[in-house]
Amino acid sequence: MFKSFFSTMFICIGIIFFITTEKVEAQDTLFTDHFENIGNWTIVGPLGLNNWYVLNTNLAGGEAAPELVFRWDPIFIGDSYILSPVINGTNNHNLELIFTYSIDWWSNIMTVGIAYTSDGGTSYTSIWEEGFPGNYLSTTDTISFTGVDNMQIAFYYTGDSNDADFWYIDDVYLIDLSSVPVELVSFTANTINNNIELIWNTATELNNKGFEIQRKNEIEDYTTIGFVDGYGTTSENHDYEFMDKNPDAGTYYYRLKQIDLDGSFEYSDEIMVTISGPTVYELAQNYPNPFNPATKIIYEIPEQTRNDNAFVTLKVYDILGNEVATLVNEEKPAGKYEVEFDANSYNSGTYFYRLSSGSFTNTKKMILLR
């Protein structure tokens, strides 16, 4: 997600710059569990397969019941592990495991620990192990270690289970200190032939699904006008662009909605762009041309008529000069317009379309091919 940063906006002719001026430390929570159940955990033996429970207790000192509990009964001598789901993308990352726990001791030395495995429990690497000669009240511990790919976190009991009464565990968090944020370096906008081009750049990305491009004007709130895929997780610089084609004249505001793979999201700051209206009459060539059976005609009414609507006609003529269709015949304010000519009922051949407004007249040729 976008991390907190300060921003500066510079407005120039035809372009706006959005620049970040501060980075923040990268950090991401990879896994958390408050043990509503243990359905996504795996108990590994061969001993101690029935010693792990979820109980409605709060003796570990976590946020609230329930919590994970290891119980002495049924009695065994050996090792019993309970494994988390597989966690990917942590090879050589600096990790922290945070958890709360308490010990209800019975006799001798009660030994418990935490390990990780990358082969489903065939082998383990211990990252924390303690032998308790008595009861131990609730506490929170933080364990630092280096991750591996396809990793599972394992809580384990080793020894004679009769030495224990209970081991209570809750509020487990796995933090990746090596993760990278979606760090937005710049966000720019400029105008190109009545289009608005948006360009942005990221220095780093974490689990970045992509960017929704959102736009609003002085009247309407933000709506999504496009989406650009992200690069997932990367520490490389990446450039993005999006073209908002042919918006009407006016002032627009743009922002990026960056969406993570898990659905979480955050917004960039907004930038503003103003599109001026046309300054002269324009009649564009129809497209497609030749056409069958319909084509589009674009024309522009200049800005100076904004306060005094111009009367506009747009008519179609055959090769002999006979009027065959009237597409526009009304007053129009300044702006850019698009009209469709549907020639379903016309024969193949050459036709002309003429735009007239005041002293302005322009005629262009189009061809209907069936």
DSSP 101-164: EEEEE-SS-EEEEEEEESSTTSS-EEEEEEEESS-EEEEEEEEEEE--TTBEEEEEEEEEGGGE
- CA pair distance 115, 81, nearest whole angstrom: 9
The domain boundary residue, chosen from 134, 151, 176: 176
- CA pair distance 2, 20, nearest whole angstrom: 11
Strand order in the sheet with 349-357: 323-332, 310-317, 349-357, 360-368
In this predicted structure, what is the pLDDT of residue 249? 76
CATH of the domain at 309: 2.60.40.1930
Collect all residues with Cβ–Cβ distance below 8 Å to 307 and sequence separation of at least 6. none
Across the strands, what pairs with 52? 70
Range of the domain at 259: 7-26+180-275
Across the strands, what pairs with 357? 360
Q: Between the CA of residue 130 and those of 98, 158, 302, what are the distances in Å?
A: 16, 10, 81
Could you tell me if 33 and 165 lie in one domain? yes
In this predicted structure, what is the pLDDT of residue 12? 33
Query: If DSSP codes are grouped into helix, strand and coil, which group holds residue 305?
Result: helix
- CA pair distance 260, 212, nearest whole angstrom: 11
- CA pair distance 245, 273, nearest whole angstrom: 13
CATH of the domain at 219: 2.60.40.10
pLDDT tens string for the chain (370 positions)? Answer: 553 332 333 333 333 333 333 333 345 788 899 999 999 999 997 788 899 999 999 999 877 889 999 999 999 999 999 999 999 878 888 899 999 999 999 999 999 999 999 999 999 999 999 999 999 999 999 999 999 989 999 999 999 999 999 999 999 999 888 766 688 889 999 887 678 999 999 988 888 999 999 999 988 899 999 999 999 888 789 999 999 987 877 889 999 999 988 888 889 989 999 887 667 888 999 999 999 999 999 998 886 644 556 889 999 999 999 999 999 999 888 778 899 999 999 999 999 999 998 888 999 999 999 8
Identity of the amino acid at 20: T
* Beta carbons of 90 and 206 less than 8 angstroms apart: no
Structure tokens at 360: 């302005």
Could you tell me if 75 and 18 lie in one domain? no
Could you tell me if 90 and 225 lie in one domain? no
Could you tell me if 35 and 168 lie in one domain? yes
Across the strands, what pairs with 114? 128, 155
In this predicted structure, what is the pLDDT of residue 180? 61
Instruction: Determine which helix (DSSP H) or strand (DSSP E) holds 192, and give its type and residue range.
Output: strand 184-192
Closest by Cα among 171, 145, 14 to 92: 145
CATH of the domain at 53: 2.60.120.200
The domain boundary residue, chosen from 176, 204, 237: 176
- CA pair distance 81, 158, nearest whole angstrom: 9
> Would you put residue 81 in left (φ > 0), alpha (ψ -120 to 50) or beta?
beta
Report pLDDT digits (tens) over 160-209.
999 999 999 999 999 888 766 688 889 999 887 678 999 999 988 888 99
Does this model's pTM top 0.75? My answer is: no
Is 237 inside a domain boundary?
A: yes
- CA pair distance 250, 2, nearest whole angstrom: 29
Could you tell me if 134 and 241 lie in one domain? no
Structure tokens at 236: 């490389």
Q: Quick one: the chain helix, strand, coil %, rounded to 5?
A: 0, 60, 35
Could you tell me if 73 and 211 lie in one domain? no
* Number of domains present in the structure of the chain: 3
Q: Between the CA of residue 66 and those of 135, 231, 336, what are the distances in Å?
A: 20, 39, 64
Angle (CA) 14 15 18, round 5° = 160
Is 2 inside a domain boundary?
A: no
Structure tokens at 352: 């002309």
Could you tell me if 35 and 169 lie in one domain? yes
* Beta carbons of 179 and 27 less than 8 angstroms apart: yes
- CA pair distance 110, 114, nearest whole angstrom: 14
- CA pair distance 290, 187, nearest whole angstrom: 40
CA 236 to chain centre: 18
The domain boundary residue, chosen from 234, 254, 275: 275
Could you tell me if 91 and 191 lie in one domain? no
Which regions of 193-249 does DSSP assign to beta strands (E)? Answer: 195-202, 205-217, 223-234, 238-244
In this predicted structure, what is the pLDDT of residue 223? 94
Is 1 inside a domain boundary?
A: no
